[in-house]
């Protein structure tokens, strides 16, 4: 493959200047500088995820600024552009969408006390470690987690940060996303019901509800971009029904709808979670969500492993989304989410790697493969095909995040795509169906990733950041955190 180096060197001057947070809230970057073009050509196979789910041979894309202008066989695309990517020998797919994560947890992988516990015991063991998190730790761990996602095919991610000790802020995660170049849905999580009031988290890590709402409003006003192709959106996201009050859930929904931003939380993760809901609220988790106004196209819930038939019908009727996290569900022995039934009913389902403390290997393609395998364990060999799994991780994720500008390669969509080298050992012997092979063989790394029209991974290496020093710093901080607990 070749790349037009001269064009790439020109690119930075033509990149639109990054608006500072304060500027951004006053002026949304609606006007693009026209002109910078990118031609992607000769991909062996290009998966569009368009309305007809076309898979094109010897195909490519023509991109202007941050959006796709044309998709088709190479012969039908313009012959040149400012930047040219010749992707002969590659499979190109829409960038994968990760709908659930807790990136700070990449500091606390494989902690011995939390290796063999189910959800509530796992959380109880980890809260005391996380109580020592610092702003630097949040920023560095977010960079590391995003690097892992980017290198494994993800171009858009949400992150659910719900613990803010020692002056940590969501701004620390946002700074990391802007530095590394990932499309980001930053979820302002929160916990307000500590052990003293019958909740699960220690009292030292919960916040006052008034403070939570004030800070969430500040974040929306400072950062949230509701425009098409937005690189940054803010989400209102109390941690879970067992760590915040009914009032905060209600107030959060009101605040989110006042600003037109999405809502996110954990729901019906395992049987204990359901038992807590019945005992404390006298309702199933889905009934509780309904009662609080936590259903609709602007809401998505993580896990829903134990969502019952009435809950599935409710979610389908209201367009409420689910972030399916198969590795985490297996790691914590939570069960098998009824994804097939959800999708048949019409529930929007996306994929999530979940936090790195409950899915210690947060790789996106590996998660796609695991989604397929786990549905088959639960519901038989025809429960999910490779193409179903890929659709969940692209279009499904976009729908769950309430976006129609990502998840497919078609004119008018954001220029977010990734390329896998079909000459790598993972694909050997499977080239009769490279698309299925992507899911069944699960190569661990992309060779290219383009987000918002910019090359973020080139030849298998991050192009926006030198990763070695970040990982070194990450490991030093992880050690400090572990020692402090
Ligand atoms: Zn989670």
CA of 370 to the centre of ligand 1 (A): 17
Question: 357: CA distance to ligand 1 center in Å?
Answer: 10
pLDDT at 157 over 50: yes
The number of beta carbons lying within 10 Å of the beta carbon of residue 162 is 25
**0.75 surpassed by pTM:** yes
Given a cut of 90, is residue 33 above it in pLDDT? no
Q: What is the pLDDT of residue 279?
A: 94
- Residue 3, pLDDT above cutoff 80: no
- Cα torsion 373, 377, 383, 389 to 10°: value is -20
Q: Which of 59-68, 170-179, 358-367, 413-422 has the lowest mean pLDDT?
A: 358-367
Q: How far is the CA of 108 from the centre of ligand 1 (A)?
A: 14
CATH superfamily of 37-94+410-467: Urease, subunit C, domain 1 (2.30.40.10)
Instruction: Output the CA 305–ligand 1 centroid distance in Å.
Output: 12
Ion ligand 1, residue ranges at CB < 5 A: 354
Average pLDDT along the chain = 92
pLDDT tens per residue across span 70-118: 999 999 999 999 999 999 999 999 999 999 999 999 999 998 888 888 8
In the reported structure, the alpha carbon of residue 28 is separated from the centroid of ligand 1 by a whole-number distance in angstroms of: 31
Beta strand residue intervals within 197-316, DSSP E: 232-238, 263-267, 299-303
CA of 312 to the centre of ligand 1 (A): 20
222, burial (CB in 10 Å: exposed 0-12, middle 13-18, buried 19+):
middle
Q: How far is the CA of 141 from the centre of ligand 1 (A)?
A: 16
- pLDDT at position 198 is 84
- Identify which of 449, 443, 448 has the alpha carbon closest to the alpha carbon of residue 428: 443
pLDDT of residue 358: 87
Distance of CA 43 to the CA centre of its chain: 26
In this prediction, residues 24-50 reach a mean pLDDT of 77
CA of 145 to the centre of ligand 1 (A): 14
Residue 101 CA to ligand 1 centre (angstroms):
6
Architecture of domain 96-401: Alpha-Beta Barrel (3.20)
- How do beta strands 349-351 and 417-421 pair? unpaired
Q: Where are the domains of the chain?
A: 37-94+410-467, 96-401
pLDDT at 30 (0 to 100): 52
pLDDT at residue 34, rounded to an integer: 63
Does an H or E element contain 85, and which?
A: strand 83-86
Q: Is the pLDDT of residue 349 over 50?
A: yes
Per-residue pLDDT at 118: 83
Q: Mean per-residue pLDDT for 250-265?
A: 98
25 confidence band (pLDDT: 50, 70, 90): very low
Total number of residues shown for the chain:
485
Residue 64 Cα to ligand 1 midpoint, Å, equals 36
The confidence score (pLDDT) of residue 255 equals 98
Of 196-205, 340-349, 401-410, where does mean pLDDT reach its minimum? 196-205
Residue 13 reports pLDDT greater than 70 = no
Q: Give residue 59 CA to ligand 1 midpoint distance, Å.
A: 38
The CA 355 to ligand 1 mean position distance, Å, reads 6
Residue 66 CA to ligand 1 center (angstroms) comes to 31
pLDDT of 24 reads: 39
Query: For the residues 280-307, what does the mean pLDDT come to?
Result: 97
Residue 431: Cβ within 10 Å count: 13
> What spacing in Å lies between the alpha carbon of 445 and ligand 1's midpoint?
24
Distance (Å) from CA 356 to ligand 1 centroid: 9
Per-residue pLDDT, 116: 87
- Whether the pLDDT of residue 366 is over 60: the answer is yes
CB hemisphere CA count around 52 (13 angstroms):
4
Q: Determine the distance separating the centroid of ligand 1 and the alpha carbon of 346, expressed in angstroms.
A: 23
For 82, the 3-state DSSP assignment is coil
% residues pLDDT > 90 (the chain): 85
């Amino acid at each position: 493959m070749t790349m037009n180096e001269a064009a790439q060197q020109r690119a930075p001057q033509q990149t639109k200047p990054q608006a500072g947070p304060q500027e951004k809230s006053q002026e949304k970057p609606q006007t693009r500088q026209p002109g910078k073009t990118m031609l992607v050509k000769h991909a062996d196979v290009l998966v569009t995820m368009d309305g007809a789910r076309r898979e094109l041979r010897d195909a490519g894309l023509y991109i202007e600024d941050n959006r796709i202008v044309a998709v088709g066989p190479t012969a039908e695309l313009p012959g040149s552009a400012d930047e040219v990517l010749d992707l002969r020998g590659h499979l190109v797919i829409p960038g994968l969408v990760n709908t659930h994560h807790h990136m700070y947890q990449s500091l606390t992988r494989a902690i011995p006390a939390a290796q063999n516990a189910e959800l509530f015991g796992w959380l109880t063991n980890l809260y005391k470690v996380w109580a020592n998190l610092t702003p630097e730790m949040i920023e560095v761990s977010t960079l590391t987690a995003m690097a892992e996602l980017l290198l494994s095919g993800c171009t858009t991610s949400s992150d659910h940060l719900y613990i803010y000790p020692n002056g940590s802020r969501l701004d620390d995660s946002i700074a990391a996303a802007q530095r590394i170049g990932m499309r980001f849905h930053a979820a302002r999580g929160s916990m307000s019901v500590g052990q003293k009031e019958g909740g699960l988290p220690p009292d030292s890590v919960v916040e006052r509800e008034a403070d939570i709402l004030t800070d969430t409003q500040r974040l929306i006003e400072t950062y949230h971009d509701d425009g098409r192709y937005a690189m940054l959106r803010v989400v209102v996201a109390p941690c879970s029904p067992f760590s915040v009050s009914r009032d905060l859930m209600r107030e959060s929904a009101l605040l989110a709808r006042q600003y037109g931003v999405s809502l996110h939380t954990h729901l019906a993760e395992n049987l204990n979670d359901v038992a807590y809901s019945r005992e404390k609220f006298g309702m199933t988790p889905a009934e509780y969500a309904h009662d609080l106004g936590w259903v609709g196209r602007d809401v998505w819930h993580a896990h829903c492993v134990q969502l019952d038939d009435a809950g599935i019908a409710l979610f389908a009727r209201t367009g409420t989304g689910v972030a399916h996290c198969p590795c985490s569900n297996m790691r914590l022995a939570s069960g098998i989410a009824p994804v097939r039934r959800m999708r048949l009913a019409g529930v929007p389902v996306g994929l999530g790697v979940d936090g790195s403390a409950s899915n210690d290997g947060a790789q996106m393609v590996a998660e796609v493969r695991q989604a397929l395998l786990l549905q088959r364990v639960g519901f038989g060999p025809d429960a999910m095909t490779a193409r179903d799994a890929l659709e969940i991780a692209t279009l499904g994720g976009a729908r769950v995040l309430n976006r129609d500008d990502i998840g497919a390669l078609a004119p008018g969509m954001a220029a977010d795509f990734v390329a896998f080298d079909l000459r790598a050992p993972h694909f050997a012997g499977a080239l009769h169906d490279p698309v299925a092979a992507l899911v069944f063989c699960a190569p661990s790394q992309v060779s290219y990733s383009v987000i918002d029209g910019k090359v973020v991974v080139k030849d298998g290496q991050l192009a926006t950041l030198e990763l070695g020093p970040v990982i070194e710093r990450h490991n030093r901080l992880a050690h400090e955190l572990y020692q402090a607990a």
